[in-house]
Structure 1
Amino acid sequence: MKTVGERLIEGLAARGVEVVFGIPGVHTVELYRGLSGSSLRHVTARHEQGCGFMADGYARVSGKVGVAFVITGPGLLNTLTAMAQAKADSVPILVISGVNRRDSLGKGLGLLHELPDQAAMIRPLCPTRSLMAAQDLPEVLDWAFACLATGRPGPVHIEVPTDVMPLPCPALPAPQTPARAALPDLTAAALALNGARDVVILAGGGARGHAAALQALAEKLDAPVVQTVNARGIMHGHDLTVPASPSLEAVRALVRSAGQILAIGTELGPTDYDMYVNGGWPDVSGMIRVDICDTQLARHPAAQRLAGDAGAVMAALLDMVAPKPSQGAMRAAIARKAARAELADLDPQMPARLQIVEAIRSALPQALIVGDSTQPVYAANLYYDHDRAGGYFNAATGFGALGFGTGAAVGAALAAPKAQVVCLIGDGGLQFSSGELRTAVDEGLAITFLVWNNAAFAEIADAMRGAGTEVIGCTPSPLQMEAFAKACDLPFTALPPDPEALTRALAQPQSGPRMIEIRVPR
């Protein structure tokens, strides 16, 4: 009879899992037994945090669950940062870890990788279950995938004691199908939208995957669509699109002018809506708010709270609202022009940094741009219209984990093997997670690692100066990029911060991963 470890692999495959990101250890050997001969592809990271970021990037691009295998203790602790980023951005990842044998748990015996209570450490962050008996495996897997597929997505954790993994386990039954969210009563919402003079839509990450429904509803309501970072690209080039941060005054002016706000799949978080912490976000308590999560809906005042899947709600509203006159495109155009002009007022260098990101789009249409916390990404988060829905994402909002880019780019490239993938990362962020470049080499992934090298934590230095604090700790020495690229077996190019030079470099043929360094004068 097969073991729990082998049946677990079968259960993952039966639920559509195709890739597992992991680093094997003595506490997960039995989980790996079933991988041999299975349909699952195993990708070896260089750090467990990278496993989590890879699972995150894979999930964002594929629309499937990203899965990571990690050891107990330090392995799971290393993954926590990535799990918290997935939580903040509503990305479904499943982390399966080992834990020490059942009779040792909580006893402080000094076992290898022992924690006082591993599950208790995870529980405040996300749902977690301990698989304590072989016969519980089907129910635990069904529970995990129900958590991942219903309500607000995010990380889920399963821990398996080392003495449970090798137990004999009968064949698993077919997976249960998670229940779909019910559609709320939309009568009052449709009435309010039909009666409003001007409508503005605030679209967040919950609108991802529903581009057609969002565009159709926006067109019928003649409503400009303001997109947070996690929704960028969803209406590229459309007359009604406003691909700009709600932290900008031009966008706030558009919101103030609206007779009705329709907020779809956005948590209204400060890193999108009040990045500069100036308190200037308008009162939107009269909004109609759509979100999959009841808890999230309760966090902000709203005239109407609609708990449901964004795509289903938008599709249903489309049949209930009346067409409005064509003024929305003009309002959106005014907001776009003013928002872009506002960048130079914030920082004279910001327009040039934005042009770096736009050069990627010009050179590599329909590319996936996976960003880290670095200056061009900050600029693009304020204003940038990507040409692929779901094709621009980063960790510079919300939880804000530095070092996200390299691992997430590996996951994205595996999820979309025919797409061009660009990891846009700073010299500081690269040193958080440089090992994952070797994973890209091992897997033969055509990722461009584009390193913005200003030899500093420049954004933090600026914040210190702005606060009147002496700048300390913000100039860690960068890697010698050419030598590092050579050590990673990557083709290497160095450029000045010139969009035209970058466009030419990106257009060069590529068969595997490569590094392009942009050397920024201090």
Structure 2
Amino acid sequence: MTCAELLIALLRDRYGADTVFGIPGVHTVELYRGLADSGLRHITPRHEQGAGFMADGYARATGKPGVCFIITGPGMTNIATAMGQALADSVPMLVVSSVNRRDTLGRGQGRLHELPSQQQLLAGVARFSHTLLDPAALPEVLARAFAVFNGMRPGPVHIEIPIDLFDAEVSAPTQWSAPAIHRPAPDPAGLATAAAWLHDAKRPLVLLGGGCVAAPEAARALVERLDAPTVTTINAKGLLGNGDGASPSPRHPLDLGANAALPAVRELAHDADVILAIGTELGETDYDVVFDDGFLLTGRLIRVDLDPEQLVRNQSLSLGLIADAGATLEALLAHFPTALLRQGQVRTAAALEALALPLDPAFAPFVPLFDTLNEVMPEAILVGDSCAPVYAANHLVTKSEPRRFFNASTGYGTLGYGLPAALGAKLARPDLPVVAMVGDGGVMFTLSEIATAVEERLPVVILLWHNGGYEEIRRYMAANGVTPIGVNLHAPEFQTLANGFGCLSTRVEDPASLAKALAQRPEQGPLLIEIDAHRWSTG
């Protein structure tokens, strides 16, 4: 086999890959030689950033790594932003790229697509970046990548292959099955201490992050046994849902949602005597989105994470367990055979009543938007960019299952994510409707991916919130006494552009017309629904 043929065979037969995102170029032609007959589906985005965001959406919707084939040089600088977002949110992504011939590496000869060091460039947005110098080492390097995905805190991995190695002959491995990787279980003594603290707590609080999404049943059972108010972060939305993806989930009576930055939840957090934080980095964009360092934990903090360094970041630690979130949730359950009674539901209800989210002027305009989506498309995966409806959805939306809501407003916070990530999610879950929530500013970063949606006949709904530019930054400038510059953008005729791509489009101004448009969405191909933000907000 050639090195390129072996790569494709390993991805398909050993690691179960079924989809590859990439834009072919002269440096990757040999990588594509055997792809047509491989059984792998190749998706061609219109920009490498789109490829990375599609792989991200694919991974978040399924838990499987998204795979990208990327060209040397500009292809790698283009995908770096998407890798940065995936790194921030611990999303598994395999980026395989070409690089210049081995005898030219680092010589600065002005070769096509040459960079001083691709590996150094990408190392900062990857769990690791590796240059393959011996084709016989490919199985080992791939095994290392999937060990990261399956055995530790995941994220992007970059493997670059010199162009003179793609057609190099290599022997097929004698063992084709993937190695079994088991994540660490919690230390028994540490677990017993954590359980004792939680048992004796008077005012416990639980913080569940995206690291818990593979164990919703255990998460729900544990918080009910602890009778503890629970923050579920943006990436953990749906963890405490009813598990019925076909209907909207009422908020669990112990679920505070992703509202840790709001006053009533901050008060609960400050007063909690024992806090259990599992699979969450306690990061700014989940717990301090108002950016005033006001999320304070004064009780004993128990943290569970696969990354030992993460245990000591952001908050003062009392007890740390380096362990898999799901295994820890299951193990803790054994210490609480019956439910404790500590007014958890009462405390949660009081906090939510004090927040009065549907009546908050910042959120109220979006309540009918999400009520309409719940009514017409309750089972939909909602994928968002950084835009006003997404900021509101982070607080308002509940889901019945995890992996049904994710966006780019956390962590790295890039623009242009929503549309291509929604396409990746739809490719991963063709059985579910998918909605991309985007703004008129951010969508311009990756608007060309409508062409990919049309080409692949993906029935994704694109909800475009048109508020005349970068509204959040405009308000932020005004609040800080800065004359608004660079935020009032000239907008194209989005419907004309969509139609030019072959995408159906319409404009709505109220919930009734939105419901009608959603109900009449095409079965094949995307639909762009433009919402005039001013008319929607003012009625």
Q: How big is each residue's C-alpha offset from its partner over 1:297-326, in whole Å with a ceiling of 9 and x where there is no partner? A: 122321111111111000000001252116
Is contact 1:456–1:475 with CA below 8 Å preserved after alignment?
yes
SS of equivalent residue, structure 1 residue 452? strand
SS of equivalent residue, structure 2 residue 534? coil
Mapping of 1:3-152 within 5 angstroms?
Answer: 3-13=2-12, 14-126=14-126, 127-152=128-153
Is contact 1:410–1:445 with CA below 8 Å preserved after alignment?
yes
Residue in 1 aligned with 2:516? 504
State the shift of 1:293 in Å. 0.8
Residue in 1 aligned with 2:206? 201
SS of equivalent residue, structure 1 residue 414? helix
Residue in 2 aligned with 1:330? 346
Is contact 1:72–1:100 with CA below 8 Å preserved after alignment?
yes
Residue in 2 aligned with 1:379? 392
CA distance in 2, matches of 1:253, 1:510: 47
Residue in 1 aligned with 2:184? 181
CA distance in 2, matches of 1:507, 1:372: 23
Residue in 1 aligned with 2:244? none
Counterpart residue type for residue 419 of structure 1:
L
Residue in 1 aligned with 2:158? 157
Which of these residues, 277, 287, 292, is aligned with residue 306 of structure 2? Answer: 292
State the shift of 1:131 in Å. 1.0
Residue in 1 aligned with 2:433? 420
Mapping of 1:162-173 within 5 angstroms?
Answer: 162-172=163-173, 173=175
CA distance in 1, matches of 2:280, 2:355: 20
Residue in 1 aligned with 2:316? 301
Residue in 1 aligned with 2:247? none
Residue in 2 aligned with 1:275? 289
Unpaired runs of 5+ in structure 2? 242-249
Label 1:343 to 1:262 Cα distance change in 2 as closer, same or farther (>3 A): farther
State the shift of 1:184 in Å. 2.2
TM-score (norm 2): 0.93
Mapping of 1:223-262 within 5 angstroms?
Answer: 223-236=228-241, 237=250, 238-262=252-276
Confirm or deny that 1:369 pairs with 2:374.
Answer: no
Counterpart residue type for residue 178 of structure 1:
I
Label 1:133 to 1:448 Cα distance change in 2 as closer, same or farther (>3 A): same
TM-score (norm 1): 0.96
State the shift of 1:341 in Å. 3.8
CA distance in 1, matches of 2:5, 2:40: 12
Is contact 1:357–1:376 with CA below 8 Å preserved after alignment?
no
State the shift of 1:342 in Å. 8.4
Confirm or deny that 1:487 pairs with 2:492.
Answer: no
The count of aligned residue pairs is 517
Which of these residues, 417, 427, 432, is aligned with residue 404 of structure 1? Answer: 417
Is contact 2:183–2:323 with CA below 8 Å preserved after alignment?
no
Unpaired runs of 5+ in structure 1? none
State the shift of 1:390 in Å. 1.7
SS of equivalent residue, structure 1 residue 79? helix
Q: How big is each residue's C-alpha offset from its partner over 1:252-291, in whole Å with a ceiling of 9 and x where there is no partner? A: 1222332311111111111111111222212246211111
Is contact 1:367–1:388 with CA below 8 Å preserved after alignment?
no
State the shift of 1:194 in Å. 0.8
Residue in 1 aligned with 2:246? none
Q: How big is each residue's C-alpha offset from its partner over 1:11-32, in whole Å with a ceiling of 9 and x where there is no partner? A: 1012111111111111111111
Confirm or deny that 1:430 pairs with 2:443.
Answer: yes
CA distance in 1, matches of 2:165, 2:101: 8
State the shift of 1:398 in Å. 0.9
Which of these residues, 447, 452, 456, is aligned with residue 460 of structure 2? Answer: 447
CA distance in 2, matches of 1:484, 1:285: 54
Is contact 2:465–2:531 with CA below 8 Å preserved after alignment?
yes
Is contact 2:466–2:533 with CA below 8 Å preserved after alignment?
yes
SS of equivalent residue, structure 2 residue 140? helix
SS of equivalent residue, structure 2 residue 26? coil
State the shift of 1:397 in Å. 1.4
Q: How big is each residue's C-alpha offset from its partner over 1:424-451, in whole Å with a ceiling of 9 and x where there is no partner? A: 0001111000111111111111100110
Is contact 1:207–1:310 with CA below 8 Å preserved after alignment?
yes
CA RMSD of aligned residues (A): 1.5
Counterpart residue type for residue 199 of structure 1:
P
Confirm or deny that 1:358 pairs with 2:357.
Answer: no
